[in-house]
């Protein structure tokens, strides 16, 4: 038999264990409740700021297009204004499919990295190993990486090089046209097939290449303004022309699909961690004509300071776009439009997009600061 004193010891030990466990659970529950309250408070604050500032941008600029902000799958702001079809005045909605211009480049970059994950190429490989057009000087030293970050020196308007490969940033749609050819070469499938496979894998069921568009909600593209407009002809087929090319600027998508893309891409669902790091790591510097100085990765721009943000603008005739992701708060911002007054220049065309990014940058800083302050107050109170 176990002595009585030993039984008492076991009994009190069990009581103490149960007490400690219940106290630990209580503290954990309190911490979870506090965090939930903080998160809810910050989201309400964020929603009010977004509504105030982005409604103002809409009204001031009479913006024809869609602006949407999502965080962890929750809509923080969404508004459409204007027409999908200016002739019959069909209004825009969340199903409207827009040409996204150079936002397409990040899809091409991801397709290259997916081929690298399958060991079909390396981003350090010379392009001449895949394409005969690069076998002669001065192109034979250009690497896949230099096409991805626009440091190849290729000119969109001539046959020579603007600089020695790897030395200077020169934005090049031609470089991404060739990346599309490399994807086809190593995968054994067309660029369109690769892109559509990627869309379906990501749940982007309303996204297409210019060659595969079959939807009924094309926002089209227009020049001018609501009163005096001209429809851009042959859309989206014109995006397949080599001067634009599908890998550089020929993808069409919706507000909701681009949110799905951002969430899948930056949360590691599409690429392995090493590949995502390559995509988002600054490997070149760019002085953007509208947004100023920034870093450039693979088909992707990034802020040089705070807040941390990955983004890209896009423009094909009549269709300016902007796609932004803030990893700290997992916030996705998409701005799409289907009309542009080219007579006023790109600063006016992208005025709304620029103002939206400026506003969301500031709001991102404000909400991260607020959350940090509230957490610090909570920790201080717990320590007292």
**Range scoring the smallest mean pLDDT among 38-42, 111-115, 253-257:** 38-42
* Within-domain flag for 368: yes
* Within-domain flag for 124: yes
CA distances from 186 to 120, 121, 190, 280, 323 (A): 6, 8, 10, 23, 29
CATH at 240 = 3.40.710.10
75 closest CA partner among 308, 255, 206, 202: 255
Q: How far apart are CA 130 and CA 318, in angstroms?
A: 35
Give tens-digit pLDDT for 192-209. 999 999 999 999 999 999
What is the DSSP code (8-state) at residue 277?
Answer: H
* Within-domain flag for 249: yes
Q: What is the mean pLDDT of residues 109-131?
A: 98
Give tens-digit pLDDT for 330-359. 999 999 999 999 999 999 999 999 999 999
| Domain residue limits at 47 | 37-383
* Within-domain flag for 174: yes
CB 366 within 8 A of CB 53: no
* Within-domain flag for 263: yes
* Within-domain flag for 214: yes
Q: How high is the pLDDT of residue 110?
A: 98
What is the pTM (predicted TM-score) of this model?
Answer: 0.89
- Cα three-residue angle 282-246-162, rounded to 5 degrees: 55
Q: How high is the pLDDT of residue 41?
A: 84
Select the more confidently predicted residue: 106 or 15.
106
Measure CA of the first residue to CA of the last residue in the chain; give whole Å.
Answer: 48
Q: Confidence band (pLDDT; 50, 70, 90) for 1?
A: very low
Give tens-digit pLDDT for 29-49. 655 655 667 777 888 889 999
Reduce the DSSP state of residue 119 to 3 states and report it.
Answer: coil
* Within-domain flag for 44: yes
**Range scoring the smallest mean pLDDT among 15-24, 244-253, 267-276:** 15-24
CB 96 within 8 A of CB 219: yes
Tokens, residue 57: 């941008």
Q: Confidence band (pLDDT; 50, 70, 90) for 373?
A: confident
Give tens-digit pLDDT for 236-246. 999 999 999 99
What is the DSSP code (8-state) at residue 92?
Answer: P
Reduce the DSSP state of residue 12 to 3 states and report it.
Answer: helix
Task: Assess whether pLDDT exceeds 50 at residue 99.
Answer: yes
CB 367 within 8 A of CB 306: no
Structural domains in the chain (count): 1
Q: How far apart are CA 149 and CA 123, in angstroms?
A: 11
Give alpha helix (H) positions in the chain.
4-61, 105-117, 144-148, 173-187, 191-201, 246-249, 255-266, 273-280, 346-349, 351-383
* Within-domain flag for 225: yes
Q: Confidence band (pLDDT; 50, 70, 90) for 8?
A: low
């Amino acid at each position: 038999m176990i002595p009585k004193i030993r039984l008492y010891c076991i009994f009190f030990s069990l009581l103490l264990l149960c007490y400690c466990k219940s106290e630990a659970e209580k503290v954990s529950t309190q911490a979870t409740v506090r965090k939930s309250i903080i998160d809810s408070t910050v989201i309400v604050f964020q929603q009010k700021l977004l509504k105030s500032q982005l409604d103002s941008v809409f009204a001031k600029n009479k913006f024809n297009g869609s602006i949407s902000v999502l965080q962890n799958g929750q809509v923080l702001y969404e508004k459409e204004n204007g027409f999908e079809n200016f002739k019959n005045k069909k209004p825009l909605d969340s199903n409207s499919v827009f040409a996204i211009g150079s936002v397409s480049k990040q899809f091409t970059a991801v397709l290259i990295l997916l081929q690298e994950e399958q060991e079909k190429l390396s981003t350090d490989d010379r392009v001449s190993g895949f394409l005969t057009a690069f076998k002669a000087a001065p192109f034979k030293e250009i690497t896949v990486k230099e096409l991805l970050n626009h440091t190849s020196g290729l000119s969109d308007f001539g046959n020579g090089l603007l600089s020695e490969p790897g030395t200077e940033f020169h934005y090049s749609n031609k470089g991404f046209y060739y990346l599309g050819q490399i994807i086809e070469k190593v995968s054994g499938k067309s660029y369109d097939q690769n892109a559509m496979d990627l869309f379906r894998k990501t749940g982007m069921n309303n996204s297409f290449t210019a060659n595969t568009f079959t939807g009924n909600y094309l926002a089209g593209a227009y020049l001018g303004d609501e009163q005096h407009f001209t429809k851009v002809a042959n859309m989206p087929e014109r995006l397949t022309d080599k001067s634009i090319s599908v890998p550089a600027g020929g993808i069409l998508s919706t507000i909701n699909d681009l949110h799905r893309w951002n969430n899948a891409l930056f949360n590691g669902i599409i690429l392995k961690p090493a590949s995502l790091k390559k995509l988002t790591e600054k490997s070149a510097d760019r002085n953007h004509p509208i947004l100023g100085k920034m870093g450039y990765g693979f088909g992707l721009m990034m802020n040089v300071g705070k807040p941390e943000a990955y983004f890209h603008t896009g423009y094909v005739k009549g269709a300016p776009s902007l796609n932004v992701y803030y990893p700290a708060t997992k916030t996705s911002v998409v701005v799409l439009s289907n009309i542009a007054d080219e007579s006023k220049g790109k600063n006016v065309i992208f005025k709304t997009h620029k103002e939206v990014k400026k506003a969301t940058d500031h709001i991102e800083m404000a909400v991260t600061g607020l959350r940090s302050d509230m957490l610090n107050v909570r920790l201080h109170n717990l320590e007292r």
